[in-house]
A and B are shown apart, each in its own frame.
Chain A
Amino acid sequence: MAKRWVEFLVALYPADFRSGYGRFLVETFEDQWEATPGPIRRAGLWVRTTGRLLAGAGVEWWETVSTDGGGGGMGQWFAELRHGVRRLLRAPGFTTVAVGTIGIASGAFGAVYGVVSDVVLEEMPFEEPGELVWIWRDYWGSFPRGWLSGYDIDLLRRHEVFAGVMGVRTGRMNLSDASGTNATDVRTLLGSPGYLDLLGVAPVIGSGFSEVAETGTWEDRHPEVVLRHSLWTEAFGGDPRVLGQDIFLNGESYTVVGVMPPDFDLRQGSSLGTPMDADAYLTLPLDLATEDVYNGSFAALARVRSDAPPGALDQALRTASAEIDTHFRSRGLRLWTIGLREDLIGDVRRPLFAVLGAGGLLLLILGMNLATLMLSRSSEQASSVAVRAALGATPGSRFRTALAEPFVVAVGGALLGALLAKGGTDFLRGFVAESVPRAVEIGFEVDSIAAVLLGALAIATLGAIGPVARWTVVRPLAGMAEGGRGGRSRAAERARAGFVVAQVGMALTLVVGAGLLFRTVQGLVRQDPGFDAGPALTFRVGVEGATYHTDPSIVEAQSAILDGLRAIPGVEVAGYANSLPLSQSTNQFQLNFPDHPTIDGEQGELIDAFVTSPGYAEALGMRVLAGRAFADGDAVSTAEGTLVQGVLIDDVLAARWFPDGDAVGGRVALFVADTLPILGVVDQPRLYSVAEDDRGQLFLPAPMRVQTSTRFVVRVRPGLDPTSLLPEVRRIVAARDASLAVSEVETLDGLIQASLGSQRLNLRLAAVFALSALLLAGLGIYGVASTVVLQRRREIGLRMAIGAEPGRVVRSVVGVGVRLVVAGAVVGLVSSWAAGRWIASFLYGVEPLDPPTLVAAAVALVLTSIVAALIPARRATRIPPAEALRAE
């Protein structure tokens, strides 16, 4: 026993060494062993010797390789590898499958890992990113991610724990050429003085904002702009001469003073929905200290001093919160922080890790496939192993022989995997661009390659188990005796069945996961978004620029465009609003219901507000539940102000504040004294998600509270493709003012589909994984059933010869497959349960343990196994009895 162990250890040494000292080592150890009394001392000797001999093997290999440059011992390895390659080339089918298996698995894993690592694990491209936080204003729990006011920021700046606190705000502007034409829409980010410096990232060209641009008065300063790298390359062709030149934003000239590095991407924190990124960075010349505490309009970006004493941050936030809260009747307003990366990727971390987990499972399944494949192959080679062992091949040389094939296919697979991972990374980046933040940062980098190699190594290791066991632990005579039947040992068959059971379990897990996501998307698609989306086109026009400094000028432009749209042939109805459903963004304010009793001590609540034109409700397909929608004349601008007939509320507010159904004719109070009658109640067009939205909505008639950002909805007659209107739409807007850009063009259906984007993405990825897993499990079962048929060839042939029904034979073979599936399903149910809990947070309308999904997944697997086993089973029924007899 001990001797064998040392023999095994010696087999790990280079061949040259073994021929010189192998025998010596074994003999000496044997003597030592015999001379050592007692099991405890022997155990000590065993452990010590193992450690020293393993270390010694490393040393000897190192010396062999480094002294004779790959000759000698290495030469034997190379010779063995050459043999391995030759053997593999003689079995092109096996080789293709093995290399392909490793390649696909490690490639897919590498690509998915690359995405996860770049999105979730990689630090943000700022200096000391761990110190950067967003600060939010939690309105006594009713709205956790409120904007801060300038007043708040000024308060926070007085605390030493912050190296800086900046107000940040996003916007959109029309970028046009000097003549005011060819407008495009750019997203802008404005920040208080020094905000780019706070991030610690310098422009790649240019020097950034000048002092006067950041802190000078409106009169002194000439506005400056720093371009994001992508805008620089797309709109300015990456021309460095743009530096120092003026570009036109909303008709005003801005001097380009810098271009940020390619990976720089500052997004406004996510108050609601997804964080907004920007193409151009501007300064915000406001004295924050003079800002109204009630005007929460900034995302606050802060850098926390890393050397601040523990608790200082909490203390600063508490002090500031208490101070601000006094302005809100001390209802419990609270400031809180979240890291920049956490804010950005908090929502996608779990889904991405789930995808990575699925990828890992698939990798394991493929590893099992390779293992069974290798096991079969080494079984076929069993007799040659036995012969070589009998001829005196040492365990060491057999070990090398065993490793040669797995090693060669692993190298080939890893190369293929790297190629696939590279392509896969690009594909995934495009695939997830819409629904995953930081997608632009995804690239094929060192960590992806490492993941590919790791994946290939993991699979190849699984694959090597069979051959190594077969080649090194062989008993020469037993092997030769088995050789007659092709040397299939029971142990190998059991191992193979075990692999298939594990595979089926993992496949079931993936299928159940995909099933749950399918049910989620199915549920979401059936969800009512709150409006009847018809054939309609939506687009945005920002009515901004030098010509639009007064409300009437803005309203006039909006009305003129609307009139133009209504005149397009095929347009049934058109309207506009400041924000569209499912956009997760609009105005919020406190709405009070003066005639009604309080709820939880409040006479109103924080609501989402929309400003909508006549025709908007009809164009969107909003459903009027009571009263009426807006009509022309509901809001009329006069010299004294805007005369408003009333407002609309949604069914959420109506149910809460007018439970008796008397909403129409009731009153709401905006701000302090502005009381308005309710003209109608509408079904709520969901703002946040088709799944859930319980915040009430208020609709104000345009042009009350004029908004420059205008979303038009144009409904066309049925049968007409709404996007065919686009050229005409652009012409109408340009005819009104060529410096206005048409952007975010989308059909109404497209809006709804896009809102399901992340769930669909999850589903698509899960479906790919699940289908692959099913296929692979099927292959595994096919392999086992084929072997069974091969082994029982004689018996089956005899049974057929004496008149057994083919049906019985088929059933008995198929039964093998079904038994494996049942065993695997038991394993799979447990892991499905765990996986379901893991993805529970992105399921909707379905429980993690959903019986129909489980049953469907099990049925899918059973069907797969039957199909997989049927092929060899049918082959079995065609075995000619005579041949079966000869085979023995």
Chain B
Amino acid sequence: MSNETVEALLPLRPVEFQILLSLSGGPRHGYRIMQESAERSEGEAISDVATLYRALKRMVDQGWIEPDETSGERRRMQYRTTELGRRLATAEAARLAALLRSAEAAGLLPG
């Protein structure tokens, strides 16, 4: 998949980016994703199961992540990112960073 195709999928929804962020650290089960999202940012935390699974399902269907059957504690359902998912996360991070730089240039971020 070309970079252009990846670009076309941006921007990601906050929930999707949160999930990809978590999974970039390795396979995770559901509650851990929720936990990490809560630690990362109070406002965008994934607080309920339904929101989480809806996003996961969408991402699996699009091939960004996949169930991880091999590893995991207590044989839990875990997910890991695919190659596409990793590239997406990187691209989204770059997009956000660029956005941030613009904000800085505009003097919106003091210090």
A residues engaging B (CB < 8 A)? Answer: 17, 20-21, 23-25, 27-29, 31-32, 35, 48-49, 52-53, 55-56, 59
Contacts and interface: CB of A to CB of B under 8 A. Distances in A.
B52 interface: yes
B54 interface: yes
A32 B35 CA distance: 9
Identify the 5 closest CB pairs spanning chains A and B, nearest first. A28-B30, A31-B31, A52-B50, A24-B77, A56-B50
B50 to A, nearest CB: 3
26 contacts: A17-B57, A20-B67, A21-B53, A21-B56, A21-B57, A23-B77, A24-B30, A24-B53, A24-B56, A25-B30, A27-B76, A28-B29, A28-B30, A28-B34, A28-B49, A31-B30, A31-B31, A32-B49, A35-B35, A48-B48, A49-B48, A49-B50, A53-B49, A53-B50, A55-B50, A56-B53
B41 interface: no
B56 A32 contact: no
User: Could you tell me the dominant secondary structure of chain A's interface residues?
Assistant: helix
A49 B46 CA distance: 12
Contact of B48 (A31, A52, A59): A52
A3 to B, nearest CB: 12
B52 A28 contact: yes
A17 B54 CA distance: 11
A86 B87 CA distance: 53
A56 B30 contact: no
B51 interface: yes
Contacts of B56: 21, 24
Contact of A32 (B31, B76, B77): B31
Contacts of A32: 31, 34, 49
Q: Which of B48, B50, B56 has the largest count of A CB atoms less than 10 A from its CB?
A: B50
Contacts of B52: 28
Nearest to A52: B50
B49 A20 contact: no
B61 to A, nearest CB: 10
A28 to B, nearest CB: 3
Q: Which of A24, A32, A35, A52 has the largest count of B CB atoms less than 10 A from its CB?
A: A24
Interface string B18-41: 000000000001110011000000
A709 to B, nearest CB: 77
A22 to B, nearest CB: 9
A25 B76 CA distance: 11
A52 B46 CA distance: 13
Contacts of A52: 48-51
A55 B53 CA distance: 13
Contacts of A35: 31, 35
A219 to B, nearest CB: 85
Contacts of B29: 27-28, 31
A340 to B, nearest CB: 54
Nearest to A17: B57
B31 A28 contact: yes
Q: Which of B29, B30, B47 has the largest count of A CB atoms less than 10 A from its CB?
A: B30
Given A21-B53, A21-B56, A56-B54, A27 B77 contact: yes
Q: Which of A27, A29, A35 has the largest count of B CB atoms less than 10 A from its CB?
A: A27
Q: Which of B52, B53, B57, B76 has the largest count of A CB atoms less than 10 A from its CB?
A: B53
A35 to B, nearest CB: 7
Contacts of B54: 56, 59
Interface string B56-96: 11001000000100000000110000000000000000000
A56 B53 CA distance: 10
A32 B30 CA distance: 9
Contacts of A21: 53, 56-57
Contacts of A56: 50, 53-54
